[in-house]
Structure 1
């Protein structure tokens, strides 16, 4: 009887709490239809979800899911409560933009597992919910890490206030935080979080602990839920992998956030700071919640130096590591093993060779491989901090004259920046910079390049002389206003935006002057916008061709401009990815004022989809193509002939093994006055010499099936990763032109730096290069003129 009465009291109390819980949830939130699924995203800070997880969140929202985003940390390290409120206001604006509705929210504090959590529900779309735990944050570069202390040292944390007036703080320990998070995760159909399998400060300590806590709690749900982990900081210099349209939308969302948090968005529309770089990237790995694993899983990495185009390599026990050609061998695999330290200690990891299981120590100013001892201060590194690697004696690891070096950590250039993978922006062969053509109709070529604008998603088009050093001229400006409070995307309808456009240069109207073509998605298909050259500028864009939905930029590997009909006007070849394999080649020809509907000229089923198509233009004749790509780990060449009505794909031939597909940039040129059928290959020099950065130049006659690449020239003092080569033949002479990045001093959060510059080398018989002619630095930043030219590499 007593037990029954007690049970009745207990059940009544529970019922009261349940009723109280639901009474505190706004009616709009309860009205949300979550039948499609519920995504719960758990991150540390109020921009982590926007920078590193989206567009995955947007995709679920578009599919009708309910989305709950949990921010564990309020503000940032040492921030006051006003900054917590600022970041939450910024997050609300960003999510309203993501949902495409006004920035109006219902805010309340709700009890979750006995703890008050600040909830924000979007009025016009109540399936969007933000939950703020408002825990104190740790520092990105060392210092106290409260979340780490809670999780590893069993500390108790006090949150920021839950009420706007600064009242009501909540206490959390490991058990209560786990219980609160478990109650939130219980509703999830899918879970997103950050990367638990790394060490501070490779990524922010708060990122790591937020992800580890989420994984640990998810494993206690007693059900199998998909869970996806997102890499954060290191992705800033990995190849962009978010489709163009989604990049454009995500940039709007992130810029809306930073219009409040920081009160400016220029670093988001640019790519000179990390926030801008992260927008185009989402790298993640998937698992399930019922997969029971430890809080931390070791994941070997590479340490790749883009300036040297080499990887850190173990030289064996008792020897210092070296820089060597990247081969993928075990000697180039490394681990950052966490050491027993107080959370927030910067010297928190050992650099361990996977091949030898030995640690790298710094003794008397030199590095040496030796048996690991976690208590030896000579083996305690700071693993990575926005690209910098700090040795145990607080030097910075870098490259000089092709060798591994250490120096003080001030006034550093990209020679001291490291990536955790060889596949980076520096080795992304899909990227393009300048286009070259006779835009003035004078018989002299100019370099035409596109520069991001900082106050919105538009771009500027500059033309620079390739004859003499002179300031470049602005030939066109596509200004697209950015309104941080808008609910519609900035880049819709006829707006021309940097991220969602591709560019071609060619004489499309046959008047002897090269014009600019801008290609965008429009009306479910593709729009080709012609900007005619007047000889002094590019005219306003006019629609040259609008295709049906059968042609979409997101399924087009590449666009190529050349005179494919022999009519004296450039047309556009569209290399469309097939659903089975290979490419379909379509041709949109030029009339006097417009383009014709695309016609199929080849079904290249055997051609790899990631090839680079280069036009072979013979004066007075029809252009053909050369396809360059990887096959069986080798660089391969395929001729594509053009008879005027059809194109025929020839046999693929492999080039010598020393031409590694990941480290070859190619261009075609009319060397020795012949047709433009000479392939020019630039590769980094890998013979182990102690010279400074060296680039090898080889030539290959593509018209001769028996020809092999011939070493033609060597360029010194420039990094291959910073150089984009072009061959120019005009009324003066022939020249090899390099559009390149100058090696400038970098700021703390800048991964790429330096201005663009042009260098011209006259080309003589046998491809003998004359003395370099420096045409000067160009305005802006090199990284902001780099753009995607092809979809797949």
Structure 2
């Protein structure tokens, strides 16, 4: 059929327009095209330009990976008192970090746009326009007190002037409470989900800017007229809490945050460690969820504990008229406290009352002593400064701490970790998943050595050191896994079989049967698990060789624990893989050793009734197959389950709960041949809490794990040490037995250091009835203790 001339011209013109549109779309930058936000829109509101990266991510990355549009709002420009150049520096750092998060070039469209009649600086990622940053550029407050502009705006109805909106220093914007709320309301309107910081705390536990940013966001979200999920993120205190992010997410987050600090500050070394707070925050994300249509006050007081890790004790009320004390943590109302905000000008220190939940009384400081009394918010003797980074300042500006198990106050210079406090007793110091040194005969000579893995400071790699236990000596570097960090790289630092500290787990055993202990590094690879063997030459570890690559049925993120031991009686160590089941419990697989390689894992037991938090302790009988004992947290009680081994399968015995004094959060377990090479016992270390001897810090008990009637027997006590600072092992060499402690040496704290001190080794000769000899100090080790502590298991 022939087309009419008119219709032919019309259709040709339409086709030409479509072609021109396609050509125009091809040459337009991606950011000029409309972003598809149909999967969802996440809007994150924080104070400073690193808050979102340190405290909220990887939740932002997860939404971006799922195809969401993400808008991050930074209310504060720069930092307290900074000039405009520093504001621009931090924004440049934020752009680089988000480009790395998105996996695209650091190329942005910047503009100043009007929102609800106010100018806001906007940055849109060209190659991924779903990513948008909005900068209010308001002045910030001080982390330790002083003028608090955001607080003045919110509580005193002050008017604030922003930093310039234009690069030439022009276009400052004025905000009051109403206009800031209106602008933020327009930004939040399309949100499918809202993230912000923690509104329900007091300065200076968290930065005042963090708190006010969160309160403003909550208040505005409640005016949206719809129900939107909103999550509030705890900030500073999380640095002392257990790491709770999966290894792969920690590794990715370190790359993103390190990219940021390569510009803001010009170096990233603190990001790759956990000796400074920035590094600690990376492995953690703690948040509580709500919805925007639930009405809530600006501040909701939440009870906290005040836990001292050095003493493993909690601050406890002794009743009206009495000073508080340190006591064993029992969760009672006497150990619940509230930081109640006082009527003060925003930014002032001495801004909170310490109130006992049990008595509703306040703790005052009078004539250098603490006392519980009726609250009076105008009484200066009741005005405390709850400090960021764990220090607590009394009304007379002393620091609260612990000495020999007792509560003390002293001047706030040259403090040690005995003056650090946490708002919960569940913290990094008593995280049972942590491990430090491994022990074995590296040279095949019958002499034991300690092997420890240390983070490298300028990237995600690690160094492996070995030190003999026979006498004090300097550690030797046995292997270095150098992984360079490029802040502008688009690919992950730890891709392509690179071995990195956060994404690896480590084992020590004689895997090839030559009599020398080798190092095994376990990583995720090719959708499964890779086991890398680093053979011992007697003087160093060789370069990694792939010992076993599993199928996708085995993933590190599903494996509660890896255990190295001779499970087959061949003289070669294999690997137990304790993998979480989908229904309940664990499956126990064994990858046996063929020498230079490992066999495919074989299922040796379906342990449905074991808790997924089990810690498997190998019992290595000389010349025979290793058995196991599972140490579990069962409804708040520590329980033991013996596991027998016939060389082809594992058989679980009857679970046995230990006496209540063995709290799961306060027991460190090791095992060893305490009464001859074929007589293994469990060794339990607990903090000494009965108060009878303030200098005795650690109790040691032993028990027979194979005897159903056995109970722990008090065997020894260590004086002058903090339980939270030691990791025990039992070794036997050349007929002699010893308890070895890898421990932290207490040291003066810096302002931003979570854990001071070096690592050190102490050795105690042990008799057959477990009497301890005098401490043999094997010397301090190079580097920081915190850089050698690693997570060994998934669940606690």
Same fold (TM over 0.5): yes
Matched, 1:546 2:553: no
Matched, 1:40 2:32: no
Q: CA deviation at 1:693?
A: 4.7
Which runs of structure 2 are paired with 1:641-790 in the superposition (5 Å)? 641-675=644-678, 677-790=680-793
Give the equivalent residue in structure 1 for 2:374: 371
Are the structure 2 counterparts of residues 337 and 150 from structure 1 closer, same or farther at C-alpha, using a change threshold of 3 Å?
same
Distance 1:236 1:206 in 2: 18
Give the 3-state SS of the residue equivalent to 1:775 in structure 2.
strand
Which of 222, 239, 244 is 2:242 aligned to?
239
Decide whether the 8 Å contact of 2:275 with 2:754 is kept in 1: yes
Q: CA deviation at 1:109?
A: 0.3
Decide whether the 8 Å contact of 1:104 with 1:122 is kept in 2: yes
Decide whether the 8 Å contact of 1:335 with 1:352 is kept in 2: yes
Distance 1:455 1:631 in 2: 41
Matched, 1:195 2:191: no
Distance 2:791 2:30 in 1: 46
Give the 3-state SS of the residue equivalent to 2:654 in structure 1.
strand
Decide whether the 8 Å contact of 2:72 with 2:132 is kept in 1: yes
Which runs of structure 2 are paired with 1:257-336 in the superposition (5 Å)? 257-336=260-339
**Structure 2 residue ranges without an equivalent (≥5):** 1-27
Matched, 1:256 2:262: no
Distance 2:752 2:90 in 1: 20
Matched, 1:410 2:413: yes
**Structure 1 residue ranges without an equivalent (≥5):** 1-24
Give the 3-state SS of the residue equivalent to 1:780 in structure 2.
strand
Distance 1:703 1:575 in 2: 21
Which of 226, 229, 232 is 1:226 aligned to?
229
Report Cα offsets for 1:265-295 as digits up to 9, x if no partner.
Answer: 0000011100000000000000000001111
Decide whether the 8 Å contact of 1:178 with 1:213 is kept in 2: yes
Which runs of structure 2 are paired with 1:202-213 in the superposition (5 Å)? 202-213=205-216
Q: CA deviation at 1:309?
A: 0.3
Which of 86, 110, 115 is 2:113 aligned to?
110
Give the equivalent residue in structure 2 for 1:66: 69
Of 625-634 and 318-327, the range deviating more from structure 2: 625-634
Distance 2:107 2:551 in 1: 38
Report Cα offsets for 1:489-540 as digits up to 9, x if no partner.
Answer: 1011200000000000000000000000000000100000000000000000
Q: CA deviation at 1:50?
A: 0.1
Decide whether the 8 Å contact of 1:29 with 1:121 is kept in 2: no
Give the 3-state SS of the residue equivalent to 2:43 in structure 1.
strand
Give the equivalent residue in structure 2 for 1:452: 455
Q: CA deviation at 1:28?
A: 2.1
Q: CA deviation at 1:622?
A: 1.1
Distance 2:745 2:299 in 1: 40
Q: CA deviation at 1:660?
A: 1.2
Give the equivalent residue in structure 1 for 2:532: 529
Give the 3-state SS of the residue equivalent to 2:387 in structure 1.
strand
Report Cα offsets for 1:288-342 as digits up to 9, x if no partner.
Answer: 0000111111111110000000000000000000000000001100000000000
Distance 1:739 1:676 in 2: 24
Give the equivalent residue in structure 2 for 1:383: 386
Give the equivalent residue in structure 2 for 1:5: none
Decide whether the 8 Å contact of 1:308 with 1:693 is kept in 2: no
Give the equivalent residue in structure 2 for 1:436: 439
Give the equivalent residue in structure 2 for 1:603: 606
Give the 3-state SS of the residue equivalent to 2:150 in structure 1.
helix
Which of 512, 519, 526 is 1:509 aligned to?
512
Distance 1:561 1:744 in 2: 34
TM-score, structure 1 length as denominator? 0.96
Distance 1:690 1:607 in 2: 37
Decide whether the 8 Å contact of 1:668 with 1:676 is kept in 2: no
Distance 1:711 1:88 in 2: 59
Q: CA deviation at 1:620?
A: 1.6
Report Cα offsets for 1:149-195 as digits up to 9, x if no partner.
Answer: 00000000000000011111000000000000000000100000000
Distance 1:628 1:401 in 2: 30
Q: CA deviation at 1:441?
A: 1.1
Q: CA deviation at 1:654?
A: 1.1
Decide whether the 8 Å contact of 1:626 with 1:639 is kept in 2: yes
Give the 3-state SS of the residue equivalent to 2:298 in structure 1.
coil
TM-score, structure 2 length as denominator? 0.96
Report Cα offsets for 1:228-277 as digits up to 9, x if no partner.
Answer: 00000000010000000000000000000000000000000011100000
Q: CA deviation at 1:691?
A: 2.1
Report Cα offsets for 1:539-564 as digits up to 9, x if no partner.
Answer: 00000000011100001000000000
Distance 1:675 1:634 in 2: 29
Give the 3-state SS of the residue equivalent to 1:572 in structure 2.
strand
- Across the aligned residues of Structure 1 and Structure 2, the Cα RMSD in angstroms comes to 1.0
Which runs of structure 2 are paired with 1:105-184 in the superposition (5 Å)? 105-184=108-187
Of 231-240 and 683-692, the range deviating more from structure 2: 683-692
Are the structure 2 counterparts of residues 522 and 39 from structure 1 closer, same or farther at C-alpha, using a change threshold of 3 Å?
same
Decide whether the 8 Å contact of 2:99 with 2:105 is kept in 1: yes
Give the equivalent residue in structure 2 for 1:20: none
Q: CA deviation at 1:674?
A: 4.1
Decide whether the 8 Å contact of 2:29 with 2:126 is kept in 1: no
Distance 1:401 1:241 in 2: 32
Decide whether the 8 Å contact of 1:29 with 1:127 is kept in 2: no
Report Cα offsets for 1:577-600 as digits up to 9, x if no partner.
Answer: 001000000010000210000010
Distance 1:703 1:114 in 2: 75
Give the 3-state SS of the residue equivalent to 1:528 in structure 2.
strand
Report Cα offsets for 1:659-693 as digits up to 9, x if no partner.
Answer: 11111000000011142520000000111134225
Q: CA deviation at 1:384?
A: 2.3
Distance 1:648 1:492 in 2: 39
Distance 2:783 2:443 in 1: 23
Decide whether the 8 Å contact of 1:634 with 1:654 is kept in 2: yes
Report Cα offsets for 1:412-461 as digits up to 9, x if no partner.
Answer: 00000001110111010000000000111110110000000011000000
Distance 2:33 2:189 in 1: 17
Q: CA deviation at 1:765?
A: 2.6
Q: CA deviation at 1:637?
A: 0.7
Decide whether the 8 Å contact of 1:433 with 1:449 is kept in 2: yes
Distance 1:695 1:564 in 2: 33
* Superposition misfits of 4+ residues, deviation over 4 angstroms: none
Give the 3-state SS of the residue equivalent to 1:386 in structure 2.
helix
Distance 2:181 2:388 in 1: 29
Give the 3-state SS of the residue equivalent to 1:651 in structure 2.
coil
Matched, 1:639 2:642: yes
Are the structure 2 counterparts of residues 339 and 659 from structure 1 closer, same or farther at C-alpha, using a change threshold of 3 Å?
same
Give the 3-state SS of the residue equivalent to 1:124 in structure 2.
coil
